[in-house]
Each structure stands twice: as structure tokens, then as C-alpha cells.
Structure 1
Amino acid sequence: MEPTPRHSCLKLRIPNQSEPIFIKATWFPSHFHLSITDGLHAWLCNASEDEVRERAAQWDQPVSDYIALAERFLGFQQPGSVYGFSDAGDGHRRLSWTFEKEGTKLEWRWKCGPSPDSRSTTAGVLDFLMDANIRLSEEVVIKTQSFERLKVEAEKCLALSEKFNNEKAEFESAIYAKFLGVLNSKKAKLRELRDQISKEETTGKLLQEEDESTDKTLSFDVESDNEEIEEESSKNLTGTSKHVSTSRPRGRKRVAPRGTSLA
């Protein structure tokens, strides 16, 4: 089954010719058909697979590349290319165009024969253009409607975005105000705690100094008392020894235990 062909139609202006020509092309993977009209006369070019293969071999190209390059130049008029549609005798015309390859300017030519029914060929080209115009018009209408819908949706989205931005700004302002209140309260509390700690430290130092002073006083008093007690004890001992030595009975002999002798 042959693949679905592609179609194109080119309005081609030829140098030194007042009226343009229209080239309707039908492209297949290995061959193509051309229908050409100037509005009064019409020509046909049916490039067979053998002819296309031969031309592609002459240019050292695959058939697919040859078809793609021909479609490029006959689907849209390429700037810099010189097109021609000259008389080839017996009612035939020679369609040509130039292109550059590796810095060399080359020219392709295809001979077109007169259409057996110029009116039918011209009508076919005009029908294709009308159908293409209708399709394009429908696409324009569809795209315009789609654009309008997108525009409305975009405006709605823009309005919602502005609303969200305003609500976000209000929310952030409220949150920031609450945050400042909490922050200031925390700062005040920290200042109170710091002052309280400072007061407690000052009070603790004063108490410590008083305790140290009291300890020193008590130590001094204890030492004084100890000295007085020692002095008193010493006096008592001295008096007692004197009393004992004076009250000891004289002339009392010591008795030695048995088995011992007195020296």
C-alpha cells in the first residue's frame, strides 16, 4: 500500500515575467507530480521512480534526499535561488531552480509538457488553494477562539494572583506584628530575669562576705577562749602541784613489795 502523499502549492514569481505561476505538487517517497498553471495555460510534470532514481544517482544522492530537496525548493520559494520557467519548444516548458552544494552553484531542471485539459488542471490547482484557504481560515478561527479563552483564563489567573498576593501581604504583616509582640515580651522577660539574677548574685556576695566575717570573728573568739582556758588550766595545775607537794606527810616510809629490796 502506497503511503499517503504530501501536497504543497507554491506561488512562484519568475524574473522578467509579469504574472506569477502556481505549482501544485504531490510528493511520494520515490516520485512526485507537478501541476503548473499561469491562469490561462497549464502544464504537467510526472516524475517517475526511474527518472527520480536516475537524477539522484547523477547527483550522488539517495532518492529520499533528492525528493526532500525538491520539496524544499518547490514547496516554498527559497531566497537566493534563481527560478526559471522557460520555453522548451512544442508547447513544453522547462522548470528550473538553483542551489549551492559545498560552495558550488548547481541547477535542477525538469521538463513539463502541456496539460491535455488546461482548464481542468487550473481548476484543480484553484480547488486545492481554496480548500487550503478554508482549512487555514478554520484553523485561524479555532486558534483565535482558543486565544480568547486563554486570554480570559489568563485575566482570571492574574486577578486571583493579585488577590493571593494581597492576602499574603496582609497575612505576613499580621504575623510579623504578632511576632514583634512576642519578641518584645520575651526580651522584657529576659531583662527581668537578668536583673533578678544580678540582684541575687549581689545578695549572695554580700551574704558570703558576712558569713566570712562571722566565721573570722567566731574563730578569733574561740581561740581567745581556748587561750584563756589553757591559762586557767595551767594555773590550776600549778596550784594543785604546789598543794600536793606541801601536804605530803613526812616520815612515811615506802613499803617494798615482797621479793624486792629497797635500794
Structure 2
Amino acid sequence: MSGAVRQIDVTTDPGTHYFLHVDFAVNLSCGFNLTLSDGISAWKGEVSENEVKREANVMEVPMESYVEDLQQVLMGGGQKRREIYSFRLDLDCLQLSYHKMCDHVSVRLGSLKLRPTPDPVLLIREMIGQSLKHSTEMEKENLLLLEENCKLKEEHAQILKELEHHVQDKETMTRELYTHFVTVLNEKKTRIRSLQDAVRPCANVQKKQRENPVPPDEDDSPDTITETVQSSYSSLEPTFPITGHDQVSQGFSLDHTMSLDENVQPRWKSTQSIDDQSPGTTEME
């Protein structure tokens, strides 16, 4: 015998406690053997693979879903599963059926015929032994889980200590950075104030000049400035005589009337005097 033995409640006989044991090779979809006892009598039953498939087809549900329901009703679950699944036993027909509540409606998942065992005491003894064996295995597994839980608690406590240490380091670093930031900020504020104090007199002077503009002097008028510049330029020019040819080359116009009268007449007189003197010279020769 393998597997676990569990206590079930039968709705048709609520005052009696029944013990159910299910044994299967691979999984419930391949069929299973069932043993039922009330502590005095014992019964056995079998469900084949074909019967499992037929029940799934009758309910029109997938095989996986139907096998999951069989797992819950036969192998057990929690208190909630007891409310959803139930058993009915007919001792007259020796038939056990198992049901599931769906929207307050009881749906039959399956049933099997039971047959009495010739030696119920031996079968009950086997069921008790299997229960003790399963209890021992569960106890060992529970001890392993407790040890692992203790290790996890120790690791958790160590992690909490490290976390607290990191939090303290973080708070210390935050305070140091804040102190350094405040120091730098105060230095910047002091520097800004000194710059503002240095710039404020100039700003006040400019403000006063805008509010009280100084009237310009007469010597500073545009005409006076232009005359001064022209005179300065004329004083810088060299002084030398300019001939008529130079004036023409420089683009200046000449008064030819005055120049011809003044220059030609003296030259004509000198020529005439020379002509007058030439005959006397010949006579002397």
C-alpha cells in the first residue's frame, strides 16, 4: 500500500468517520484503486482508465480539468475543498459517489462499486501503518522545513543588521554632504555680496547721471568741432609755391586773362627794345 490515508465526511452518514485511501500507478487518469473503512468494516473498489475517460466525456470537460477535480476530491485539500467536494455512500448498494458543488448545484464527478474485504482487520492495520508511515515522512519533511526556516531567519536577521548599518552610513554621508553643501553655498553667497557691493557705486553713479544729465558746452557744438578739425588738418599741410602747371595737374582752374596780360606785355617791350638797338649796332660796324 502506498499513498496517504485521509479522513472524509459522508453526507449520507454524518455521524460516522470514514477513512479513505487511494492508490494509483502513474496518475488518476490511468485509473486508481480505492479503499474505504469505518474502523470496523472495510471495502475496496476500482476505477479503470476507460471509466475515467467516460466520466470526463459525460461531463463535457477537458481531461486535465476532470483529473484535477479527482485529485482534489480523492487526495484532499483544505477546508474550502471540503465545502466544495462531498461523498455519498449507499450501504445497501455498496456504491460510493463523489460530487462537486457548482453554483449551489451538486454535480456528480463519478462513482464506483464497493466490495467487502474478507479480512477487514488486516486491511485496517495496513491503513494504520500507512498513515503512520506517511505521518513520519511528513514529520521529517517538517523538520527539514523548520531547519531551513531557521537558516532563513538567521539570514534575515543578518540582512537586517547590514541594512541598518547601511542606513546609518547613508545618513552620516547625507549629513556630511549637506554640511559641505551649506559651507560652499555660504561662500558663494559671500562672494556674490562682495561683487554686488563693488558694482553698486558704479550703478549709483550711472543712475545719478541719467537722472541729472549735464548740459553740453557751446564749444562742444557740432559746428565748432568741425571747424576745429578742419583747422587742424590745414595746419598740417606743407607751404610751398604752386605754379600754374601744378595747379592744372592738381585740378585747379587758372585765370588766363590776367596771366597773359601781365606776362606777355613786359616780354613784348623787351623784344621791342632789342629791335630798336639792333640798327645802331650795325652802323657802328
Give TM class, smaller chain. 0.5 to 0.7
Separation in structure 2 between the aligned mates of residue 168 and residue 78 of structure 1, nearest angstrom: 53
The equivalent of 1:26 in structure 2 is 23
User: Is 1:79 the equivalent of 2:79?
Assistant: no
The answer as to whether partners of 2:29 and 2:52 remain within 8 angstroms in 1 is: no
Q: Is the 8 A contact 2:43 2:115 kept in 1?
A: yes
Deviation at 1:190, TM superposition (A): 1.1
- Taking a change above 3 Å as real, the CA distance of residues 161 and 197 of structure 1, as seen in their structure-2 partners, is same
Measure how far apart 1:80 and its partner are.
4.8
Alignment CA distance shift 1:162-1:55 (3 Å) = closer
Distance 1:206 1:88, change over 3 A: closer
Q: What is the TM-score when the length of structure 2 is the normalising length?
A: 0.61
Match in the other structure for 1:144: 146
Give me the whole-angstrom Cα distance separating, in 1, the residues matched to 2:57 and 2:186.
89
Contact 2:29/2:53 (<8 A) preserved: no
Q: Secondary structure at the match of 2:91?
A: strand
Matches within 5 A, 1:163-242: 163-200=165-202, 216=217
Unaligned 5+ segments in structure 2 are 228-261, 270-285
User: Aligned pair count?
Assistant: 217
* TM-score, with structure 1 as normaliser: 0.66
4+ aligned runs moved over 6 Å, structure 1: 203-207
Q: Write the mapping of 1:106-185 to structure 2, written as runs, cut at 5 A.
A: 106-107=107-108, 108-185=110-187
- Max radius of gyration: which structure? 2
Alpha-carbon displacement from aligned partner over 1:229-260 (angstroms, at most 9, x marks no partner): xxxxxxxxxxxxxxxxxxxxxxxxxx995498
Shift of 1:132: 2.0
Q: What's the Cα RMSD here?
A: 3.8
Among 5, 10, 13, the alignment partner of 2:9 is 13
Judged with a 3 Å threshold, the aligned counterparts in structure 2 of structure 1 residues 217 and 192 are, in CA distance, closer, same or farther, namely: farther
Q: Verify the 8 A CA contact 1:43 1:113 in the aligned structure 2.
A: yes
Who is 2:92 aligned against? 88
Structure 1 residue 189 displacement after superposition: 1.0
Alpha-carbon distance between aligned partners in 1 of 2:114 and 2:164, rounded to the nearest angstrom: 65
Which amino acid in 1 is paired with 2:155? E
Structure 1 residues 193 and 23: CA distance shift in structure 2, 3 A: same
Task: Name the aligned partner's letter for residue 176 of structure 1.
Answer: Y
Q: 1:149 to 1:183 in 2, by over 3 A?
A: same
Other structure's SS at 2:159 match: helix
Q: Does the CA contact (< 8 Å) of 1:22 and 1:37 recur in 2?
A: yes
Given that residues 35 and 44 in structure 1 are in contact (C-alpha distance below 8 angstroms), is that contact kept between their aligned partners in structure 2?
yes
Structure 1: tracts of 5 or more residues without a match = 1-5, 227-254
Q: Which residue of 1 aligns with 2:49?
A: 49
1:32 maps to amino acid: F
Query: Distance in 1 between the 2:206 and 2:60 partners?
Result: 107
With over 3 angstroms needed to count, the CA separation of the structure-2 counterparts of 1:258 and 1:40, relative to structure 1, is: same
Contact 2:46–2:112 (Cα < 8 Å) also in 1: no
